[in-house]
Amino acid sequence: MNILFLTGLFFIGLIAIIVEFFVPAAGIIGIIGGGSIIGSVVMAYLNYGILTPLLIMSYFKIFPKTIIGKKLILNTNLSPDSGFTSFAQGKYRNLKGSSGIVLKDMRPTGIVEIEGQKFNALTNGEYLTSGSSIQVFKVEGNRVFVKKRAT
């Protein structure tokens, strides 16, 4: 196999995957593009041996530093230190010890109202009916654990 043919097959596969983003084809163009890329890599390995894995490794080292690579690869850190959270921490921060009522039967999960706000909550396996009085005994992230309030 000619190296130009294999390189062309690889780039045709890349173009097909890019076209898939814009043309609704139920994934067929993307599958063909992926097959072209995989086929070109396999044929290159069979014909040129050890050189192919070295080229692939160098591609992954060089591509993130290119203009296209910089636009496609996310470089920002989504940590809590940079302000990213998957839930509103303030909403859950002071719930421990709060009281409320069950809005939807809990078996063992359900919806409760605490201080005028609705929360999805869990019990330790007990069944609580709608209207039961509850108390929050533990909060882990956005998971609220409740138990029947002693009267």
> Mind listing the pLDDT tens digit for each residue in 85-119?
666 667 788 889 999 999 999 999 999 999 899 99
- What percent of the chain shows pLDDT beyond 70? 93
**Same domain, yes or no: 60 and 101:** no
pLDDT of residue 51: 74
Helices (H) and strands (E) in the chain, counts: 5, 5
CATH of the domain at 107: 2.40.50.140
Do 93 and 118 belong to one domain?
Answer: yes
**Torsions phi, psi of 52, nearest 5?**
-65, -50
Q: Can you give the pLDDT at residue 59? A: 81
In terms of domains, do 7 and 61 share one? Answer: yes
Last residue of one domain, picked from the residues 12, 38, 72: 72
Q: Are residues 112 and 58 in the same domain?
A: no
Domain span at residue 21 reads: 3-72
- Domains held by the chain: number: 2
30 pLDDT above the threshold of 80: yes
Q: 115 with 125: CB under 8 angstroms?
A: no
